[in-house]
Amino acid sequence: MTVIHGGNREKIAALIQRPATSLLDFSANINPLGVPQALKATLSAALTELSDYPNPEYPRLKSAIAKHHQVAATDIVVGNGAVQLIFDAALALHVQTAMVLAPCFGEYERALKKAGTQVTHFSLTRDDDFQLTGAQLIQALKDQPQVKLVCLGNPNNPTGTMLNDADLDQLVSYCRQQKIWVILDEAFMDLSLSPNEGWLPKLSPSDPVIVVRSLTKFFAIPGLRLGYAVTKNSALQQKMRDQSEPWSVNTVAARFGERAFEDRTYIQATQDWLQTEQPWLGKQLQEITFLHVFPSVTNYYLVYSSVPHLREKLWQVGILIRDCRDYVGLDAGYYRMAVKSHEANQELVQQLRVLE
């Protein structure tokens, strides 16, 4: 299975023969506030340490994450982006059959297949706005008792939908009873309209759950890469330790992560931007006659366009959006658009209006 990610400005720039820097990229869901200014000194100071190996235990990084989420440092594994933790968790758990949503982030299936796991899909439907309920997923698990792992994005990519707390409680308690592992990918939790601690405060040693988080989207560092996973399940902690490679977080990323959560000004500014721009862009997109916009709680929208080849048409005006036809469960016509700065969002809306 090939997953064609968004955010590849360099490739599209070469294809359409425009400088990469002139393109407005709505195909990757990255905080438009950019790398926090206050952390740039931390980044450059870390360069002086490049001739030493990082401490493979990452005590300072884990302690910063532990303090931020009020969990124990021993419950944390750090990695080179959330995606590494997803691959490591799939390998560590190494079950025969797993279930993912369709559509969902394509790397879940790649990670599971690499671990030798068979993947079954639970289809979300357009009629339900791609919204999932805990009861539906539990029924699917009952129908397929061979499934021993569920890998779930909350919020889900590319739909921007989220399971409500009560449904997630119900799902995890079913999985606990039935000994089904859960990889809960909360990479977009802090970029949701009601950012909260997600499942982290509810983790317990009897939980079969590992929560995956990312700093790359919120702190706009996809080129630096930093993610972490948290579980209180001691068997799973041991499996993750056995699985993990040493030094998977580079020194610059580690030093960044040690300080990032202290930047309250940036965190507040991000939440302020999202609370204003996310609904603004959603409303504007809904007014475009050829688009159907699906409800989203996070910093991107899944849309369906009745104008064909929308991605290529927007390339002509220097705008990149994510074509979603490579997601299992979606086909031609579905696109994902990130919420960006107000100026960029205005430009997107204006260019879409031209196509009406």
Binding site for ligand PLP (CB under 6 A): 81-83, 105, 153, 157, 185, 187, 214, 216, 222, 227
Q: Which helix (H) or strand (E) holds 130?
A: none
Nearest-CA neighbor of 290 among 311, 310, 306, 266? 306
Question: Given the complex with ligand PLP, which of 218 and 315 has the nearer CB atom?
Answer: 218
Cβ neighbours, 10 Å, residue 288? 18
Question: Given the complex with ligand PLP, which of 82 and 321 has the nearer CB atom?
Answer: 82
The DSSP result for 94-127, as a single string, is --SEEEEEES--THHHHHHHHTT-EEEEEE--GG
Give the pair of three-digit tokens for residue 269.
């500014």
Per the CB < 8 A criterion, the answer to whether 106 and 326 are in contact is yes
Question: Given the complex with ligand PLP, which of 233 and 298 has the nearer CB atom?
Answer: 298
Per the CB < 8 A criterion, the answer to whether 154 and 182 are in contact is no
The DSSP result for 295-322, as a single string, is --SBSEEEEEESSTTHHHHHHTTTEE-E
Measured at CB, which residue is nearest to ligand PLP? 81
Question: Given the complex with ligand PLP, which of 288 and 294 has the nearer CB atom?
Answer: 294
Nearest approach, Cβ of residue 140 and ligand PLP (Å):
20
Question: Given the complex with ligand PLP, which of 35 and 307 has the nearer CB atom?
Answer: 35
Give the pair of three-digit tokens for residue 247.
């030094």
Question: Given the complex with ligand PLP, which of 251 and 298 has the nearer CB atom?
Answer: 298
Question: Given the complex with ligand PLP, which of 222 and 318 has the nearer CB atom?
Answer: 222
Nearest approach, Cβ of residue 224 and ligand PLP (Å):
10
Nearest approach, Cβ of residue 219 and ligand PLP (Å):
10
Q: Residue 192: helix, strand or coil by DSSP?
A: strand
Nearest approach, Cβ of residue 47 and ligand PLP (Å):
22
Nearest approach, Cβ of residue 104 and ligand PLP (Å):
8
Nearest approach, Cβ of residue 225 and ligand PLP (Å):
6
Long-range contacts of 8-15 (CB under 8 A, 24+ apart): 9/320, 12/315, 12/320, 15/315
Q: How far is CA 14 from the centre of its chain?
A: 27
Question: Given the complex with ligand PLP, which of 132 and 352 has the nearer CB atom?
Answer: 132
Nearest approach, Cβ of residue 6 and ligand PLP (Å):
8
CA distance 117 to 202: 28
